[in-house]
Amino acid sequence: MFDDKSIIALASPSGSGAISLIRISGSDAIVLGDTCFKSIKNKRLVNQKTHTIHLGHIMDEDRVLDEVLVSVFKGPHSYTGENIIEISCHGSTYIQKEIINLLPHREPMLLIEELINIKKLFSATAIVNVKKDSFFVQGHFPDNPVMPGVLIVEAFGQAAAALTAHGLDKEVYNNKLVFLMGIEKARFRNPVIPDCKLELKIQAIRTHGRVWKYKGDAFVDGKKMADAQWSATIVDKK
């Protein structure tokens, strides 16, 4: 979902105190913070100017973790030259851990950056920002770059896994993995050209038993680019 170079860490001395500071830095820092911050004025962090401070709450779905102040620093005008947000939260070690755990590190192959319009274990929309410097551009038709169809399918699978993770009890899901089992009726209707936002509208069509099934459509600016049906299974981590 997010750039693997984004770093989430406690920036204040470890241990309990009145206030703790959690810093997120990297190209996707502001987007990452935006996924769990709810402003008291319904502001989106991604739409705010650099060097601004915002009052709100860190949310775990509908659960309020803490009332916080979030400072936004946009590169190249931050003190490190990259995007940074700083979360000033209450200083208990429990709150520190809860917030950091809510913002997991992402691997390079994680493609989706947002999951919105979520209906628990039923449907959601996933966002993939297809960038000009995406890792596949250099080798996949360098003069005419196109997002590979196999990566669109991979993004569908990741969106389904995220929808499943969102809907299951965290203690249950922490010991599980979602594996893609099969692809059915995949069609690539138009090429996905870098420098666009790919919206994946997915729906679960079977959510019981060992094998779950999903369907999805991919759009850019309202134009359908691909569609597919696929199956996945939830297995125990080894």
Cα–Cα separations (whole angstroms), residue 224 to 186, 187, 193, 220: 13, 10, 13, 7
| 56: Cα within 13 Å, side-chain hemisphere | 21
Sign, CA dihedral 142-144-145-149, equals: negative
The one catalytic residue in 57, 90, 140, 166 is 140
Cβ atoms of residues 111 and 155 within 8 Å: yes
| Residue 8, phi then psi, degrees to nearest 5 | -115, 125
Question: Known catalytic residue: 51?
Answer: no
Distance CA 76, CA 61 (A): 32
Residues near 102 by Cβ (< 8 Å), separated by ≥ 6?
36, 58, 60, 65
Segment holding 81, helix H or strand E: none
Segment holding 164, helix H or strand E: helix 149-167
Catalytic residue numbers read 140
